[in-house]
Structure 1
Amino acid sequence: MAQTARVPQKQLFGQPIGLYVLFFTEMWERFSYYGMRAILTLYLVSQTMGENPGLGWTNAEALSLYGWYTMLVYVMSIPGGIIADKVLGQKKTVLYGGILLVIGHGILAVEEMWAFYTGLLLIILGVGMLKPNISTMVGGLYKEGDIRRDKGFTIFYIGINVGAFLAGITVGTVGEFYGWHYGFGLAGIGMLLGLLVYVWGQKYLVNVGNLLSQEDRDSGASLGNLFSNLFKSRLQLMISLGLLVFSVYWMAVESVAYGLLFIFLTVVVALMMMVYQDLTSKIMKDRYVVMLLSFILVIVFWGAFEQAGGLMNIYAKDNTDRMLMGFEIPASWFQSANSFFIITLGTLIAGFWAKRRLKGKEASSLFKMAIGVLIMGLGFIFMVFASLQFQSEGSSAMYWLVLAYLFHTVGELCSSPVALSFITKLAPAKYASLMMGVYFAATGLGNKVAGVLGESASEAGEMSIFLGITIFTVIFAGIVLLMLKPLKRLTHGAEDNEREISEQEDYELGDPEVTK
């Protein structure tokens, strides 16, 4: 199917109507994912006997599975992106991913171990097909240089968190009070609603997410040709072989699972080098390098942030005084704190950055991402205080968790929606879905790092982990800020023309701040 010619899009509140279709689709998809995520580790560590039995795993075992699962969910975005670029197009790939998710969440409602692992596998495959491509479709709603792109991604991001907020409260309550598998089933119902919204809204997505024409697809090298070019570069071949030897050694001597992960990462590194070789201009190559460097920011951010569903979730259950006016607040409810703050603060923070840019102050995507890492890292100071209080009193107050989630949310709003938009600005068009897939794979690696850090808390202690995260993220963000100017030069002005376009389009849309 050829790419449909672009026609003017209907708008609602200054944004394409298609944005709101994707908003509600992703809202319900995130309801299902974060609902299951809110109760997963709690289900794993709950005792096998009692009114609401779990699997009785240790904290370390639960956090290990959590790390592997949340990593694979996002790593599968790479094949999901390839399928969209080369086979189905983004629109159909999102549809099939949604179907897999409905089936996967439904199977999790069955109280059998085969159903548990089968459901997790289907969710991994479904998210891998849906997540990168629906985000790329959001970017496709906007012309190059359109400042509404960042605002659109922020609106889209709020939709994600409306779903996540509802999930923590509803799925968490059902799971903790009525049965874990009832909670998993409720998450599946949410995904079904998202799928229905997506099918209904196809008429507003005519111009985005279609499979590129055969000519456009052929203009980019096939994956087979890309890897065949590996043998034409001695340096890249040596790097790839060195990584492969290390991976095989690790698999044979240390861990099969990690060895397979390292082999996969070797393939990804080789693929990224070959994509670089395939680019035809210096500007494209420089932007591509900056985009790859931004993935390091993504890994660091989510490696710290994703303590929320793992270590901090268990900390809330075991170490926090959750009594409020005679009612014990379920541990899973704290998973909604982040989403609540995003919903209430999202437009304020987006407006702050927009005004800062229009005043000519530093507001580049890389600057926002570095500031996001810094603020999020400082949030762990409150978890250090919580740990100190627990050591002296035997429990810690809830407000430490709430303050930590507040700082994490402000950091996330500075970093994550901007990172999504940044990828769509810098990624080569013929590799757009693949690059979004690599972005989510970087998110997945961050999730795995989070799991590893959480596991180590059983030996190092929670306070050491929280303090270590704070120190590392502050230093890392500082280094990125020092390197900001040379990194911005390599983007070759990808964001420089947004202010002019903003003022023109605000006038056309009747912005009172411009037209009064």
Structure 2
Amino acid sequence: MQTISAQTEQPLAAESTSHPKGLYVLFTTEMWERFSFYGMRAIMKLYMVKALLFSEADSSNLYGSYLGLVYLTPLLGGYIADRYWGNRRSIMVGGLMMALGQFVLFASASSYQNASFAHMAFYVGLALLIFGNGFFKPNISSMVGNLYPPRDRRIDVAYTIFYMGINLGATFAPIVCGYFGDTGRPADFKWGFLLAGIGMLLGTITFEFLKGRFIVNADGTPLGARPELRAVQTASESAGNTRKNLLLVALFAGVFALLYFVVLDQKIIDSLIYSAMVVVPIAVLSDKSLTPVERRKINVVLILGFFVIFFWAAFEQAGNSLTTFADKQTDRQLGSFLVPASFFQTINPFGIIIFAPVFAVLWTWLSKRGKEPSSPLKMAYGLALLAVGYLVIAFGVKGVTADTKVSMFWLTAMYLLHTFGELCLSPIGLALVNKLAPVRVASLMMAVWFLAIATGNKFSGTLGALYPEPGKPAPHFLGFEITGLYEFFMVFVVLCGATAFLLLLIYRKLTKMMADEPDANVAPVVAA
């Protein structure tokens, strides 16, 4: 067992047991944003198949491309926030764009029988959501950690509380948007998108009205202000920033137009996302101003980002192949009520709300006794739990024919195990990036973390397209023929199990790299 470095064991002067009120403003803002995101996600696949008449494979690939791009654009949003706009302006711009995107989807679904308009509006709405999220997501996540002094031990718990806000919105979103949108009538999808847009507006308004009072530094100055407000500037410097902002707007407009025209070409999107996952980390590490300490911290984040890809590739089947499975091969009859397929997507976030406090108390209890697993080990547990979840549902469908519907128990049990896995990985990863990222590139490093999630989400679309359909040729993956649902789910068992095992082999090395840093708040290692 390794111990925490001497410096990290010293008491932290500014540490407190309570949390700043700004955390709960960010909690509420993110809750409504996630309501918007997951409300739309709950019915997106169903809308594509049942209203826009996409094939299962095409809808799966587009679903993966959308989620991949949603987590790719934070690179742009994080860079602009760090250099020009600051967190506050970026969050406001992103929130308004996403609300507009949902209302454009409402217009698409309102005219779904007009195929040309409905498809055009659908892609425009997705593009607005993609870029809006790019400005919103990395900045609000970074602001959570910035509310606290360096090396504050409350940060892990703060991100878990923040994660509860995410999942509170995600819990009600599939129920509300699914109830009004997933009725079995294609004409009703529009109500789900409309409610998602209203939720996004509420979150943006909450942030705008409360940020001045609660999102502040210890001295009362605005937290996340524009860079030009952080120091005194000359008139020429101010004018230069204005010109830069105009250039950024022009650049954004150009990229937006490019995205709209290439979104139909999945190969271009695949190349864009997968290439970014290689090029961007190299570009970050090529910064000659990085100190050896900063470089080692970034390396830990990048290595763990590789494992995150496989986690999200499997986890994000929730809105993709697992929604198809719920719709077609799950017995959803509950008395006289037919449970909408979109409702199953609420199991995971509801489980987060119930069990996040349990995990937060567990980590705190273990930390006080010097037995808390390190962040890399927690993440290995997360991958292992995901593999076990898919093993459960694979067992449930083994030997089942395509026209047989299975009990809701199997899907529910799998989602519950995935919830435990997510609590071991996702909030821990967010907190880890905040603790290890150099301050001057904090938003950019958060965006790099989201890039790993983007790659995983895009990969989820590729894997989801392997879902076997009766009467069609059996798909293949790495020479493995997928003849039925059992083989399909076993793909995820093997991928998640193998990566969990690999991370267990190297987690001690990663923990040592973290513990060697004087400013990394790292828990002691517990033997696997």
User: TM > 0.5 between the two?
Assistant: yes
Q: TM-score per shorter chain, which class?
A: 0.7 to 0.9
Q: Give the aligned partner of residue 417 of structure 1.
A: 427
1:68-147 alignment to 2 at 5 Å? 68-110=65-107, 111=111, 112-147=118-153
Deviation at 1:63, TM superposition (A): 0.4
Deviation at 1:455, TM superposition (A): 0.4
The one-letter code of the counterpart of 2:70 is: V
1:39-438 alignment to 2 at 5 Å? 39-46=43-50, 54-110=51-107, 111=111, 112-177=118-183, 179-202=188-211, 203-207=213-217, 208-212=223-227, 255-275=267-287, 277-280=288-291, 282-388=292-398, 390-391=400-401, 394-438=404-448
The one-letter code of the counterpart of 1:480 is: L
Distance 1:358 1:493, change over 3 A: farther
Whole-angstrom distance in 1 between the partners of 2:297 and 2:520 = 14
Distance 1:25 1:257, change over 3 A: closer
**3-state DSSP class of the match of 1:379?**
helix
Q: Give the aligned partner of residue 15 of structure 1.
A: 19
**3-state DSSP class of the match of 1:278?**
coil
Whether 2:496 is the aligned partner of 1:485: answer no
Deviation at 1:59, TM superposition (A): 0.9
The one-letter code of the counterpart of 1:279 is: L
- Structure 1 runs (4+) deviating above 6 angstroms are 8-11, 214-218
Superimposed CA distance per residue, residues 252-305 of structure 1 (whole angstroms, 9 cap, x where no aligned partner): xx9444344455445424422323x3312x222211111110111211110111
Whole-angstrom distance in 2 between the partners of 1:262 and 1:23 = 32
Superimposed CA distance per residue, residues 182-234 of structure 1 (whole angstroms, 9 cap, x where no aligned partner): 1101100000110111011111112222234699999xxxxxxxxxxxxxxxx
Distance 1:55 1:386, change over 3 A: farther
Whole-angstrom distance in 2 between the partners of 1:496 and 1:445 = 27
**3-state DSSP class of the match of 1:457?**
coil
1:433-472 alignment to 2 at 5 Å? 433-458=443-468, 459=475, 460=482, 461-472=484-495
TM-score (norm 2): 0.81
- C-alpha contact 1:105 1:188 (8 A) present in aligned 2: yes
Whole-angstrom distance in 1 between the partners of 2:232 and 2:522 = 29
Moved more, 472-481 or 140-149: 472-481
Q: Percent identity?
A: 39
Distance 1:393 1:184, change over 3 A: closer
Superimposed CA distance per residue, residues 122-175 of structure 1 (whole angstroms, 9 cap, x where no aligned partner): 000001110111000001011122111111100100000010111010001111
Whole-angstrom distance in 2 between the partners of 1:10 and 1:497 = 13
- C-alpha contact 1:30 1:161 (8 A) present in aligned 2: yes
Whole-angstrom distance in 2 between the partners of 1:171 and 1:122 = 20
Gaps of 5+ in 1: 1-7, 47-53, 219-253, 501-516
Q: Give the aligned partner of residue 240 of structure 1.
A: none
Deviation at 1:10, TM superposition (A): 13
**3-state DSSP class of the match of 1:438?**
helix
The one-letter code of the counterpart of 2:368 is: L
- Which of 22, 26, 33 is residue 29 of structure 1 equivalent to? 33
Aligned length: 449
TM-score (norm 1): 0.82
Whole-angstrom distance in 2 between the partners of 1:369 and 1:10 = 26
Superimposed CA distance per residue, residues 103-132 of structure 1 (whole angstroms, 9 cap, x where no aligned partner): 111111103322211111000000111011
Whole-angstrom distance in 2 between the partners of 1:368 and 1:495 = 20
Deviation at 1:55, TM superposition (A): 1.3
